A and B are shown apart, each in its own frame.
Chain A
């Protein structure tokens, strides 16, 4: 190729920089911590609303953000399922009755469980608040995935997890196409006048869809390979990979310990920090094996610090506020100032984190 003689201008000022993906995850992590520490249903709804507002305003219009709707769908399904389960199988405690449904006792081999029965306000609310907590966390994950490009997040994975991240990159690229491909195959099947419902028909189009996904995965892998993917990498030692996986596991257990108040204290912060330390060390060693460079490395600047801090601060505020005794589910508490503050903190990205349009 001819040598470059002219200087090209850098990106114009209009070419706004997207937010560092890890800042979004820090923010979402804070939101998740805040939600798990909130007991009141109103609080959860308030915090989730804040998260959804940020997702709606700061999300870019890129195709990968469309999966957000899938997460919203799953969250809604969780709530509906939980309520259906309560109505069908829920244990009745004899509180105030909302809908007087008859109970259908099952035969004795089913363990004396009865179906349906009067729907009680308290039980229903309890089921709802339990489902809301889970749904809210799903929404937070969805928001993080819609705000931070999963492919950019993967770039921050340590080099030793290279094989894993390759698989994830291919999966992240192929999965959205699976939906399209399933729709195309189903429609083609209809063209033939063949039945499209029923188990046999479904099995009939599972295969072409999987086949297409497989072909696409292989051609994507071939394309990455031919463009030098992993060409500069020395093989990572198995031991190092093992250590890294252990660190991730420790960090996971530690996070669970921190979030769940009922676990012993040592399962929280100590395990989390141990995992983080081991992980950092192994990553430092592993990353010396990879000689990859970044075209436009994501920068961590003031904006990123503000976003991450807003999420973490929200978690902090809620944790401090949660020291007060938990309210009973039927008692709709007036919103404590702490929760309102946390919601406002979670909304900070609306000002600072909008995606470049």
Chain B
């Protein structure tokens, strides 16, 4: 269905090709997962499969890309609309109309189909993706998962034979992501649609994949069965990693497979990972962090915080205390008030009622009463779009300006950045960095003033495994040195790896607040893969299992 024949792609101005000699044939009715580190060329592969590369982006494409027999060299993207549908990371950026029904009909209107055909196709897609109750709703009022389903529906009405999706679930909470992926699998199974799907959070999608296309940083690719390709990855999803550790064959790809393997194997493990003396680095940092929290005073105290936007209450009376050495993860559905709470805690966001105090700072001030330049020395926030913090032309200029903003010794930011990402080119424009590079730079900028409390809004969005490892290391180090971190995240595996405490929000209210292990293992939606596989044992990460096994033998 989608065939790459010796495809080499070079962007204008680039010296090395972004894609190097890729030959792949993805047969009809297959869900193919595209994996690889950021910047490796996943987006280029997807773009080439839709004709956007090189028609929209420029560049030289050698070789041939055929979609259902149509050569993208001879067909503009608009002439491929009835063969391949494209869904992007942020559905709102692609919406043309105002309501669900109009959006679904847009492609049909453009193709000039007669009205009765349009009516029946729209109704069909409304049923297929379970959108009928939303048909006359405004697109901006929908939740993230609903918007993504509408975006899929909007291309499905043209009845394409293939779907290309670029990280469709990266902005979604676990439940909404499952809805979207379930809708996709239904399309694959019931209608035989071919799907090309790029995703960073492999753990979410790996069980649905029929094949995997791995793009390496040099632009070359490997294509094969999921177990085979993923088993060879340096950072496989936890389910595969655990399988590899336990020596299960064939490697499990879904929780269900892994649990069947784990049935007898669980007895090898002690019931709790921290029961035996576990001298592993990460575990140690975690337990040290928890003890530190008990002894030291609080760094941030919030009492009955309320945030209202007109008639809508985003945060409703949240009480919160964070002590030194804690990494608190705030979780909850899209729109449950996580970001509003973070901004209100920092002091720059609106707060309708309640109190926030920084007990460790002189005079225990309310951050909202401090000037922004003063407040950031005690409590810093890295927003959801880290690039908003950056406005200079080069990484070096950004670092110098950050030193000045923070009144820190010159070279401070550059040093923090070098610890995070050792080889970031100094003269590069921040806009040209990878997602992980930009986050690292924004983090370094905010950490230049060394604030005791660091707030992060969805920090792992768009990060690959290596970048997440780096971030986790930084956060754990900060907690270990007596500072506090509060982050919001949908990334269950990342939270399981880093957080000491988890707080869940629903409709602006605290639903649960407790030690990470207790909250994560008790929840069906928030449990990481390892916890699901080893239930009822209380393990969260593969590293814990490894340590426990090591301690035994």
**A47 CB to nearest B CB, Å:** 30
CB-defined A-B contacts under 8 Å, sample of 22: A4-B124, A187-B383, A188-B385, A188-B388, A190-B372, A191-B376, A191-B389, A192-B376, A192-B389, A193-B377, A194-B401, A208-B388, A219-B88, A223-B93, A225-B77, A226-B84, A227-B78, A227-B85, A228-B111, A293-B113, A295-B105, A297-B115
Q: Assess whether A173 is interfacial by the CB under 8 Å rule.
A: yes
List chain B residues, Cβ under 8 A from A184: 383, 385, 388
Instruction: Please give the distance in Å from A61's CB to the nearest CB on chain B.
Output: 8
The answer to whether B373 has its CB under 8 Å from any CB of chain A is yes
Would you call B445 and A227 a contact (CB within 8 A)? no
A238 CB within 8 Å of chain B: no
Taking a contact as CB atoms under 8 Å apart, the answer to whether A8 and B123 are in contact is yes
Decide: A227 and B191 in contact? CB cutoff 8 A: no
A102 to B98, CA, bound (A): 56
A222 at the interface (CB under 8 A from B): yes
- Of B154-162, B230-238, B244-252, B516-524, the one with at least 4 CB within 8 A of chain A: B154-162
Among A1, A193, A204, A219, contact of B94 (Cβ-Cβ < 8 Å): A219
B residues near A292, Cβ cutoff 8 Å: 109-110, 112
Task: Tell me if B376 and A4 are in contact (CB < 8 A).
Answer: no
Residue numbers in A under 8 Å from B119 (CB-CB): 8, 10, 295
Contacts of A300 in B (CB 8 A): none
Chain A's interface size range is 35 or more
Least Cβ distance of A159 to chain B in Å? Answer: 12
Chain A 312-326: CB-based contact to B (< 8 A → 1; otherwise 0): 000000000000000
Checking B50, B105, B373 against A193 with a beta-carbon cut-off of 8 angstroms, the contacting residue is: B373
B residues less than 8 Å from A2 (CB atoms): 190-191
Residue in A185, A205, A231 whose beta carbon sits within 8 Å of that of B78 in the complex: A231
Tell whether, in the assembled complex, residue A208 and residue B387 are in contact, meaning their CB atoms are under 8 Å apart: yes
Q: Which residue of B lies closest to A170 (CB)?
A: B96
For the complex formed, measure the closest distance between the CB of B340 and the CB atoms of chain A, giving whole angstroms. 12
Cβ–Cβ contact B380 & A191, under 8 A: yes
Q: Is the CB of B405 within 8 A of A223?
A: no
Known interface pairs A208-B391, A295-B109; 13 further A-B residue pairs with C-beta atoms within 8 A, sorted by A's residue number: A4-B121, A184-B388, A194-B401, A219-B94, A222-B52, A223-B96, A229-B78, A231-B79, A232-B110, A293-B109, A293-B115, A295-B119, A295-B122
Contact A191 B105 (CB under 8 A): no
B158 / chain A contacts, CB cutoff of 8 Å: 227-228
Task: Pick the residue among A63, A193, A226 that contacts B81 (CB under 8 A).
Answer: A226
The B interface, classified by DSSP as helix, strand, loop or mixed, is helix
Residues from 152 to 184 in A contacting B, C-beta threshold 8 Å: 169, 173, 184
- Contact at A192–B405, with CB atoms within 8 Å? yes
Task: For A209, give the chain B residue with the smallest CB separation.
Answer: B388
Give every chain A residue within 8 A of B77 (Cβ-Cβ). Answer: 222, 225-226
Determine whether the beta carbon of B138 is less than 8 Å from that of A62. Answer: yes
Whether A226 and B50, one on each chain, are in contact in the complex, defined by CB atoms closer than 8 angstroms, is yes
Cα separation A267 to B445 with both chains bound (whole Å): 63
User: Considering residues B156, B389, B431, which has the most beta carbons from chain A within 10 angstroms of its beta carbon?
Assistant: B389
B residues apposed to A, CB below 8 Å: 50-52, 56, 76-82, 84-86, 88, 90, 93-98, 101-102, 105-115, 118-124, 136, 138, 140, 154-156, 158-159, 190-191, 343, 346, 348-349, 371-377, 380-381, 383, 385, 387-391, 401-402, 405-406, 431, 445-446, 449
Chain A positions within 8 Å of B, measured between CB atoms, are: 1-2, 4, 8, 10, 15, 62-64, 149, 151, 169, 173, 184-185, 187-194, 196, 204-205, 207-208, 211, 216, 218-220, 222-232, 291-297
In whole angstroms, what is the CA distance A231 to B82 when docked?
Answer: 10
User: Contacts of B78 on A, CB cut-off 8 Å?
Assistant: 225-231
Q: Which residue of A lies closest to B51 (CB)?
A: A226
Nearest CB in chain B to that of A181: its residue:
B388
Contact residues in A for B109 (Cβ distance below 8 Å): 292-295
Residues of A within 8 A of B348 (CB): 187, 190-191
Chain B residues with CB under 8 Å of A149's CB are 98
Q: Give Cα A205–Cα B388 distance, bound, in whole angstroms.
A: 9
Q: Are B118 and A293 in contact (CB under 8 A)?
A: yes
Q: Give the distance in Å from the alpha carbon of A224 to the alpha carbon of B51 in the complex.
A: 13
Please, which residue of chain A has its CB at the minimum distance from the CB of B108? A295
Q: Determine the residue in chain B with the shortest Cβ distance to A229.
A: B110
Q: How far is the CB of B123 from chain A (nearest CB, A)?
A: 4
Q: Are B389 and A63 in contact (CB under 8 A)?
A: no
Chain B residues whose C-beta falls within 8 Å of the C-beta of A188 in the assembled complex: 383, 385, 388-389
- With CB as the reference atom, state the residue of chain A lying closest to B346: A191
In the complex, which residues of chain A have a beta carbon less than 8 angstroms from the beta carbon of B95?
173, 223
B391 touching A226, Cβ below 8 Å: no
A294 and B115 contact, Cβ closer than 8 Å, known pairs A192-B402, A204-B391, A228-B81: yes
Residues of A within 8 A of B101 (CB): 295-296
Chain B CB count within 10 A is highest, among A10, A227, A295, for A227
Q: Cβ of B52: which chain A residues have Cβ within 8 Å of it?
A: 222, 225-226
Of chain A, the residue at the smallest CB distance from B124 is A4
